[in-house]
Amino acid sequence: MIDWSDEQQMLREAVRQFIEKEIVPIHDDLEHGDLPPYDVLRKLFATFGMDVMAREGFKKRIEFEKAVAEAEANGTEPPAKAERSGGMDPSMTMIPIMELCRYSPGMVTAMGVSMGLTAAAISSRGTIAQKERWVPELLTLEKIGAWAITEPNSGSDAFGSMKATARRDGDEYVLNGSKTFITNGPYADTIVFICKLDEGNPPEERKILSFVLDQGMAGLEQSKPLRKMGMHSSPTGELFLSDVRVGRDRLIGETEDVPSGGRAGAKDTFSMERSGVAAMALGIIERCLELSVQYAKDRVQFGKPIGEFQLIQEKLAIMEVHRLNVQNLVFRYIELSQQGQGLTLAEASAMKLYSARAAMEVALEAVQLHGGNGYMAEFKVEQLARDAKVLQIYAGTDEIQITHIAKDLLRR
C-alpha cells in the first residue's frame, strides 16, 4: 500500500464532511466546556452505518463460536473458519480515527477505550453468554465502556503494585479498590475492573481477575471528570469500589484459572491500541502540517512570508518527514492486517513510540511556527500540542515501549 485507495479517499472525504458539519460547530463545547463526546460519536456511527456493521460482524463471530462450542460438546469436527476475502480492513477504523484527531483526539480516546479496549477485554476472554450480554452495545457505542487497571500507586507496573482485590464469599465475590485516570470513568455504563484474587496469599502470587460492572451497582462510585492538560473531549475519572458484590457471571471467562495467572497482556489488544495511537498521531501531524504551511505563507515578517526563512523551512521539512514515516507505519499496519497478519510486540511498540514522539514534536514545532498565535486557543495548534502529549503516556509510556522493544530484540 503506497497510497489511500479511491474507496478509502471517499471514506475520508465523507467523514471529513460530517466532522465539519457536526463537530466543528460544537468543538469549543467539547474542548473547553465539558460536553461529553458520546452523542455526536453515536451520530457518527449511525450516519456511516458503523453501528450496523459492528452488530453484523459480532453476530457472525458469535455464531461461529457457538458452532465451534457445540461441535466440541458433541465431539464432532468443528466448522472451518468462514473464508473471508483476505483479512479485515482496519482502514475503516483508522480513517475515522485520523479524521477525528484533526480536531479532537480526545474523542478518539473516549471511543477507542469504549469500543476497543473494553469490548476487546470481554471478547477475548469472556464466555459466549458474557459476550452477548455486553459486547454488541459497546461496539455500537449504545453503551459506553471503561477499562480500569491503573491505580494511584500502580501504573507502568500495573500488576506488581495493584491493590484492588476480589474476595470469595460463597458463590459471589466482593470487590474493593480505587482506580484512577480511567477514560470514560465518569460516564461509563459498562466497566471492566481488573483486580487480584485475595486468597490470603502474598500479593505477587495472586491471580489477576477481570470483572464486568454496570453503572449504579451498590458500592460503585464514579467520580466527576478530572482536570487535565489536554484530551478535554475525553472524560477521565476515578472509580471507587467498596464491597461491590458480584456473581460469577460477571467474572470474565467465569473461571479463576486464567493463563499465566492473568498477567499475559492480550497481544491483540496491544497491537490494536498501539496502531490506533499511530493513526491518531497521523491525524494530528497532518493537521498541524497543513495549518503550518498555510501560516508560513500568510504570515509576513521582515517584509516577507516567514516561509522564506530557512529556520521555518526546517520545521516544515521535519514535519513532512514525520508525516511520511508515520503514514508509512499506518499503511504497513493496514496492509499486514488485510493479509491476516499481525505485528510482533516489538513492532507494535516501535510504531507507537515513534508515532507518539513524532506527533509531539510536530505539534510543538507547529506552535513555535505560529509564534504568539500558536499559544492562543484560536489557532488550534496549542490544543493539538496538549493532546499529543498523552500519546507518550497512555497505552504504555515511551519508556515502557522502549523496554518492550529491547526485550523482544534481546530475546531473539
Ligand X SMILES: Cc1cc2nc3c(=O)[nH]c(=O)nc-3n(C[C@H](O)[C@H](O)[C@H](O)COP(=O)(O)OP(=O)(O)OC[C@H]3O[C@@H](n4cnc5c(N)ncnc54)[C@H](O)[C@@H]3O)c2cc1C
* Footprint of other proteins (CB under 8 A): 6-7, 10-11, 14, 17-18, 47-50, 52-53, 92
What would the x/- binding string for ligand X be over residues 17 to 56, using CB under 6 A?
----------------------------------------
Taking CB within 5 to 8 Å according to partner kind, which of ligand X, other proteins, none is near residue 11? other proteins
Cα dist. 156→112, 153, 206 in Å?
20, 10, 18
> 380: closest CA among 13, 112, 101?
101
Of ligand X, other proteins, none, which one does residue 48 interact with (CB within 5 to 8 Å by kind)?
A: other proteins
Tell me the C-alpha distance between 122 and 407, whole Å. 28
The CB-of-146 to ligand X minimum distance in angstroms stands at: 6
Strand 172-183 with 165-169, pairing: antiparallel
150: contact with ligand X by CB under 6 A: yes
Helix, strand, or coil (residue 278): helix
Is residue 315 within 8 A of residue 285, CB to CB? The reply is: no
| Using rule CB under 6 A, residue 392 touches ligand X | no
Closest to 114 measured CA to CA, from 63, 54, 61, 160: 54
The minimum distance between CB 11 and other proteins, in angstroms, equals 5
Closest Cα partner for 228 from 376, 363, 386? 386
Residue 2 in grid coordinates: 503506497
Q: Which is nearer to other proteins, 7 or 399 (CB)?
A: 7
Specify the residue, 239 or 329, whose C-beta has the smaller distance to ligand X: 239
Region binding ligand X by CB under 6 A among candidate stretches 131-139, 316-324, 364-372, 393-401:
393-401
Element (H, E) at 105: helix 105-111
Determine, following the binding rule CB under 6 A, whether residue 155 of this chain makes contact with ligand X.
yes
DSSP readout, 358-369?
HHHHHHHHHHHH
Is residue 181 close enough to count as binding ligand X by CB under 6 A? Answer: yes
Alpha helices (runs of H) in 191-309, residue ranges in sequence order: 267-298
Q: Which does 49 bind (CB under 5 to 8 A by kind): other proteins, ligand X, none?
A: other proteins
Least distance (Å) between residue 397 CB and ligand X: 3
User: Between 188 and 291, whose beta carbon lies closer to other proteins?
Assistant: 291
* Residue nearer to ligand X on the CB measure, 207 or 232: 232
Q: Quickly count: other Cβ atoms within 10 Å of residue 59's Cβ.
A: 12
- 185: nearest Cα among 113, 100, 102: 113
- For residue 253, which of 213, 210, 217 has the smallest C-alpha distance? 210
Q: With CB cut-offs between 5 and 8 Å by kind, which of ligand X, other proteins, none does residue 324 bind?
A: none
Rule CB under 6 A: is residue 149 a binding residue for ligand X?
A: yes
> What is the contact surface with ligand X in residues (CB under 6 A)?
113, 147-150, 155-156, 181-183, 231, 236, 390, 393-394, 397, 399-400, 403
